[in-house]
Amino acid sequence: MLVGKLMLKNPIKIYEDEIVTQVAERMQNYNFARFPVLDRDEMPVGILKRKYLEMESGDSDVTVKDIMRRVSDEEVIREFEEAYTIFNRAGEMFFVVDEKGRFKSILRKRHVMKMYFERLEYTESNLRGVIECVDTAVFSVNRLGRIVFINNFARELLGINGDKIEGMVIGELIPDVDIMEGIDSGVDEFNRNFDFNGRRLVLSRYVARSDGKAIGAICSLRDITRYNEITDELALEKTEKEVLKSVFNTAYDGLIVVDAKGYITMISDAYKSFLGVENENVVGRHVTEIIENTRLHKVAETGVPEVADLQKIKGDYIVASRIPVFKNGKVASVVGKIMFRNIDEFEKLYKKIGKIEQQLENYKDELSKINKAKYNFGDIVGRSNEMKRAVNLAKKAAYTNSNVLILGESGTGKELFAHSIHNSSARRNKPFIKVNCAAIPDDLMESELFGYEQGAFTGAKKGGRIGKFEVADQGTIFLDEIGDMPMHMQAKLLRVIQEREVERIGSNKTIKIDVRIIAATNRNIERLIEEKRFRMDLYYRLNVVTIEIPSLRERIDDIDLLCRDFLEKYRVRYYKKVDSISESAIAKLKKYPWPGNVRELENIVERAINILDTETVIKPKHLPSDVSGVFDIEDVKPLKDVLNETEIRTIVQCLEVVSFNKSRAARLLGVSRAAFYEKLDKYKIKVVNKTIHIGD
């Protein structure tokens, strides 16, 4: 502050030659202790104390000069000097003079001090405000390391609060760092990193001095924990950007990125060379300058993606996709991609996809044919009461959703019933899945029925596999030979029936399923339960409806009907002229005990039709000798042939029973797999599409 600003506006002046009594009278109304005295050239000459004025009352010729004290040089100050310079001078009142030394006014030390103090106060409060506002922790300590001032940011960072912080020793708050170290040498210190309560802080210390001596320190602390994290993130982002850049440039197809206004920000080398601008710097140019018929800038405006759009560039059609990229709800950029450089390539691919789709449809058709039930109740031949009862019960069961258990000897038509029930039920248009429990090795049964996830076990197929229950969803699953199901699988099956959900092997997700179960067995299931080889609880779940199919022995009268049916079936199949079966042949058939039931009868009729030559009526001689009991001289065959025929028949029957599972057939026949294959080869027995062919 300059003196001129702080001096009195209207100073009182007394001249040295004035008569004291007159001056005393004039000064009566002014309550000042001292008055400035000037000569008549307006130059300061002395200081007159009021006390002296009052003491001189009667003498009329005493002048001011006689009683004043002479002014010293120290008491004179120029108007453009700094006012604080008076603090080091003696005296309370100072003469302010112009550059020629002429009196301008007076300056009182008290007044100047007050002004400076107010200004200091103002500055300090401003400073505190600023320090509170900065997002840096700031605190100051005295020489002893006690906190003098600390801003809120620092309190927060150091995790301290309360009024008593000022005065605390900083070394107790931050024990790991000696903030006062080297303070006496007056050295400032910058960016000392240290860890504090799991955060990374940076300390800077400025030494506060007075008269060249350290009197304390002002410190700032910055938390760079997040900064360090950001640095790491940035490094990662940089790597990702590099990867993106190289992907961009190695992509076979053309790639381009434009900003929200359509200016190119990235373009792949492949696209540049396609456009013939490989040697130009096109980044930063508007896309319309570089690409013919482009719509990238339009997509930037509309924000609507365009996929597989035809675009003509240099006379060629290309297929382009334009995908907008949004940031905060606005288009930030658009990525353009030429999917195929030439429409011919696209067409080729399109045709290829078309072919694959067609194949897929064919496979789907095949699959639904495989998963379809073939037979209906109309295919079940039988007039006997037992049979009629079984069919009626099956028809009633078809209308419900209940599980069905079909019991009957081998070849009695259990599968035929299962198909018919499904085809008459509301599920008829949904899958019918047959599982032969006897033909699946124990260790594969779970994956076969419930499927597995990719990587569930060594050898598991990529992508996993769907189980039969899932395939049968909404439809029917036919569990044939249920009596052969291993105990551990019975427990799992029971859970599926109760929970109505399956869990693939290797998965912890359950899949809801809606499947009707029809189970069948030719085994005496009650005995299996007694022998603890079949779970009673599962049995009760399955036999909600039990259909018992009579053996052929029990319905001998149906033999005529069945024979007529099979005759018709194989006559058509083999293009043979066959009229009928003779009464005597029927009589023979009715006497036979039929261990193989209807399947055996069907095989015998088929065989008979095959061996008919010119005759058109099947006679006893066309039946196997164990059926006909007829043994003519013509029937006598070399033992070798008989053995061969028996082997062929046994192998064929066995294969049929085990649903053509060769390993199981070999096991049942008690021969090694290799020996079984030799036999198949010897007799030229082949299994094609679940049908047995004998001969070349």
Task: Please report how close the Cβ of residue 614 comes to ligand ATP at its closest, in angstroms.
Answer: 28
Minimum distance, C-beta of residue 495 to ligand ATP, in the bound complex (Å): 26
* Conformation bin of residue 542: beta by default, left when phi > 0, alpha when psi is -120 to 50: alpha
How near is the Cβ of 665 to ligand ATP at its closest, in Å? 13
Residue 189 in contact with residue 182, Cβ under 8 Å?
yes
Compare residues 254 and 413 and give the one whose CB is closer to ligand ATP: 413
Q: CB nearer to ligand ATP: give 331 or 627.
A: 627
CB closest to ligand ATP, residue no: 413
Nearer to ligand ATP, 317 or 375 (CB): 375
Token pair 């067995």 is found at 521
**In the complex, what is the shortest distance from the CB of residue 523 to ligand ATP, in angstroms, rounded to a whole number?**
10
Give strand ranges (E) for 385-496.
Answer: 404-407, 432-436, 451-452, 465-466, 476-480
Write the CB contacts of 448 (distance below 8 Å, at least 6 apart in sequence): 435, 440, 467, 468
Nearer to ligand ATP, 314 or 690 (CB): 690
Least Å from the CB of residue 559 to ligand ATP: 11
For residue 455, the 8-state DSSP code is T
3-state SS, residue 34: strand
Token pair, residue 563, equals: 């024979």
Q: Which is nearer to ligand ATP, 38 or 547 (CB)?
A: 547
In angstroms, the CA 106 to CA 113 distance is 15
Q: If residue 688 lies in a helix (H) or strand (E), which one and from where to where?
A: strand 685-688
Binding site for ligand ATP (CB under 6 A): 380-382, 408, 410-416, 480, 522, 598-599, 602, 657
Nearer to ligand ATP, 220 or 412 (CB): 412
Nearer to ligand ATP, 355 or 590 (CB): 590
d(CA 638, CA 147): 122
Least distance between ligand ATP and beta carbon 521 (Å): 8
Alpha-carbon distance 169 to 141, whole Å?
A: 8
Rounded distance between C-alpha atoms, residue 140 and residue 217, angstroms: 6
Burial of 5 (0-12, 13-18, 19+ CB in 10 A): exposed
- 610 and 575 Cβ atoms separated by less than 8 Å: no
How many whole angstroms separate alpha carbon 89 and alpha carbon 85?
Answer: 7
CB 373, min distance to ligand ATP, A: 12
691: phi then psi, degrees, rounded to nearest 5: -130, 140
Nearer to ligand ATP, 490 or 653 (CB): 653
Closest to ligand ATP by CB, 97 vs 654, is 654
Residue 685 host element (H or E): strand 685-688
Closest separation in Å from C-beta 653 to ligand ATP? 10
Q: Degrees (nearest 5) of the Cα angle 660, 436, 368? A: 90
Which residue is listed with tokens 């809606």?
A: 514
Q: In terms of CB distance, is 104 or 434 closer to ligand ATP?
A: 434
Q: Pairing state of beta strands 76-78 and 93-97?
A: parallel
Output 387 or 445, the one with its CB closest to ligand ATP: 387
Taking alpha carbons only, the member of 96, 118, 119, 116 closest to residue 8 is 96
- Nearest CA-CA partner of 63 in 86, 40, 87, 88: 40
Q: Tell me how far, at minimum, the Cβ of 524 lies from ligand ATP, in Å.
A: 13
Instruction: Give the separation between CA 530 and CA 593, rounded to whole angstroms.
Output: 29
- For residue 592, the minimal CB distance to ligand ATP (Å) is 16
Q: What share of the chain is helix, strand, coil (3-state, %, to 5)?
A: 45, 25, 30
Secondary structure of residue 221 in the 3-state scheme? strand
Query: Least distance from C-beta 546 to ligand ATP, angstroms?
Result: 15
In angstroms, give the least distance from the CB of 590 to ligand ATP.
16
301 or 548, CB closer to ligand ATP? 548
